[in-house]
Structure 1
């Protein structure tokens, strides 16, 4: 089916009201039974026999993943993992310098993010966890050999549902015009930011992924999207469809917001404090503006314009990759480098854990 006919306002307006009932019901169960959170956080993978004390809703949530253990196909997933193994350093760089700031420029979605104090006050740890999540997704053999990856995705899906729950019950300033928090349109946009926008960032630097590589990444995130509770009937099958989907969401949602400005200012401050490379740090606003483009940069209040060419940025990031990895770049080297950064900054390697709750 050609997805282009789905990319209309009439199709996407209802998506702002749709969320993820399976995960939302599971989180209600966890809120009422916080000890189950500890049980899940102690798992290394989803057990094929779930604890008897789990209620129907939580059992159904994890059964969704158990039923998909045998659906992961190496032929579909390995090309995406191979791409990350070759270009994972650039992939992670684009997440930090393009994908995440791009999400901040979408005003209504930014309203969810800014209500998480961790993304504002503990942004370093939040970014580190995001890096660990993406790294775990692309580990060689993920899903079709490493069943622990299903648990990783399930945890992040539940974390999204926790965000919805806390906003619904405690954010008295939430406005209906934002849509439902963490809705289907915003989840599609985030999935696109972690895939197509990363690829577009590489293209802007002259590191042009082939059409086959782009399709491999889109196919990979289609699989992840389904596991994350996204309606993948809207997910693009080609770079052209991805371009049109991004254009639609951009037209609908990109706008100035105080939430977006708070988020980008927090990110810039963190980079200024932690980026060790003086050249990169000195050109920070210009680099962000280059990737974001004029409209998104202005929406975030990034008024400083430093003329930088894509070729120069490609050289800069390429040089940093060589500096960090030499001729040994690959998944293991990328993971080792990321874990070393975590230990230096936080004293430990960061991972994904469900929020600990106490009984009231």
Structure 2
């Protein structure tokens, strides 16, 4: 099969969102500052769309669901999340995001925004960004997310406009290497979409959750709708699990390279989860999960520390004695994953942003179903 020319997609952004942003910046002498101001407004105000009319035009033209949406498939995907959501949110941190970090050029954008990592390595911006990302996933996957009562459309529009503002102020800052492609280009967006979509399906299988072909296609279909809403072009937003996974792997293999940015982001990710999970019994679990779910080559690219000898056996023994169970190696791993994911979500559910009085929220029906 002929190789795709990715350079075309690395020079392509989101025409609708970028045109809207340019229109917003007309008449502002300090356009770069205005773009940064808009970005900050989007990230620091949960009700930004309700509190101002400046986004009304953008909301109107980007709110339409695609005509090919299949609500039966959406319902199936939401039921998967209802059942396995604690695993899915764990995979977000230990498969989806780190896989994106293996893409060296895309990782540079995440560091360049200054939101995930600060010079003093403060945890606050890291926590805020990762909690926001997790909340986004909950919002698009929860029951009725795409109905009038849900928030899937509005949170997708917010992400789309945030991407455009980042694209603008990084591109215009004078500190961006254009050989990397434009920031948050179509290839990067499509790869990230698959890290949240078909890669999660693969990760569930790694954890012993075997979905049917219908369920796999349904889960990918929901995220294909999200891709439409955030501005991924149809050519890079395929239908069906097999097609989607194939595209994702093609992108990851094309972009995979060792980078300082990827290593910094991975270290920040490990710090984040250790911060969110109280106590020290799970301290090395983030490293364990990265090795189990990412594989040796990706872990080497991201500079993931090696596992302490016999840590896994020690942890399974501690959990097993506490609960009076015996575990095989694989069921022991599943037990560790289950306990860690619950501890992680409880920690996040109790976390408040200091600067915007907002809270990470899991719907009550899900906290009950996941035994949190």
Structure 2 length normalisation: TM-score? 0.77
The residue aligned with 1:123 is 126
Gap change, CA 1:111 and 1:232, over 3 Å in 2: same
* Greater mean alpha carbon deviation, residues 116-125 or residues 106-115: 116-125
Could you tell me how far 1:104 is from its partner in structure 2?
0.8
5+ residue gaps, structure 2, are 29-33, 119-124, 313-328, 362-372
Moved more, 176-185 or 240-249: 240-249
Separation (CA, whole Å) in 2 of partners of 1:254 and 1:150: 31
The answer to whether residue 85 in structure 2 is matched with residue 65 in structure 1 is no
Q: Shift of residue 137 of structure 1?
A: 0.8
Pick from 270, 282, 286 the counterpart of residue 268 of structure 1: 270
The CA distance in 2 between the partners of 1:185 and 1:84, in whole Å, is 26
Q: Paired residue for 1:342? A: 351
Native 8 Å contact 1:101 1:264 kept in 2: yes
For the residues of structure 1 that align with 2:209 and 2:90, how far apart are their CA atoms?
Answer: 13
Question: Is it true that 1:133 corresponds to 2:142 in the alignment?
Answer: no
Show the counterpart of 2:108: 111
* Aligned 8 A contact 1:105 1:255 in 2: yes
Is the Cα–Cα contact under 8 Å of residues 69 and 144 in structure 1 kept in the other structure?
Answer: no
Distance in 2 (alpha carbons) for counterparts of 1:68 and 1:60: 16
Pair 213,67 (structure 1): closer, same or farther in 2 beyond 3 Å: closer
Q: Matches of 2:67 and 2:248 in 1, distance apart?
A: 31
Distance 2:353 2:241 in 1: 38
Q: Secondary structure at the match of 2:295?
A: helix
* Aligned residues of 2:198 and 2:244 also touching (Cα < 8 A): yes
Verify: 1:82 aligned to 2:79, yes or no: yes
Matches within 5 A, 1:1-360: 9-31=3-25, 41-44=47-50, 61-68=58-65, 73-121=70-118, 122-146=125-149, 148-170=151-173, 172-276=174-278, 278-305=280-307, 311-320=331-340, 337=346, 340-343=349-352, 348-350=358-360
CA deviations 1:326-351 (Å, max 9, x no partner) are xxxxxxxx8xx577322398864159
The answer as to whether partners of 1:204 and 1:310 remain within 8 angstroms in 2 is: no
Corresponding residue for residue 330 of structure 1? none
1:331 — aligned with what?
none
For the structure 1 residues 260 and 40, does the alpha-carbon distance in structure 2 shift closer, same or farther, using more than 3 Å as the test?
closer
- The secondary structure found in structure 1 opposite 2:191 is helix
Is the Cα–Cα contact under 8 Å of residues 352 and 358 in structure 2 kept in the other structure? yes
In structure 1, what is the Cα distance between the partners aligned to 2:66 and 2:147?
8
Question: 1:41 Cα shift?
Answer: 3.9
Change (3 A) 1:349 1:61: same
How far, CA to CA, are the matches of 1:305 and 1:338 in structure 2?
24
1:356 aligns to what?
Answer: none
Q: CA RMSD in A?
A: 3.2
CA contact (8 A) 1:184 1:230 kept: yes
Query: TM-score w.r.t. structure 1 length?
Result: 0.79
- How many residues align? The count is 324
Taking the aligned partners of 2:47 and 2:354, their CA distance within structure 1 comes to 23
1:72 CA drift (Å): 5.5
Deviations 1:275-323, CA, capped at 9 Å, x for gaps: 22634322332321221112211111124146866543322122456x6
Indicate how the Cα distance of structure 1 residues 138 and 312 shifts in structure 2: closer, same or farther if over 3 A, else same.
same
What 5-or-longer segments of structure 1 have no aligned partner? 326-333, 352-360
From the superposition, tell whether residues 302 and 310 of structure 1 become closer, same or farther in structure 2 (CA, over 3 Å). Answer: farther
Alpha-carbon distance in structure 2 between the residues aligned to 1:284 and 1:340: 19
- Corresponding residue number in structure 1 for 2:326: none
Shift of 1:189: 0.3
The corresponding residue for 2:317 is none
Rounded Cα–Cα distance in structure 1 between residues aligned with 2:165 and 2:194: 22
**Structure 2: how far apart are the matches of 1:182 and 1:231?**
13
CA distance in 2: counterparts of 1:112 and 1:324, whole angstroms: 30
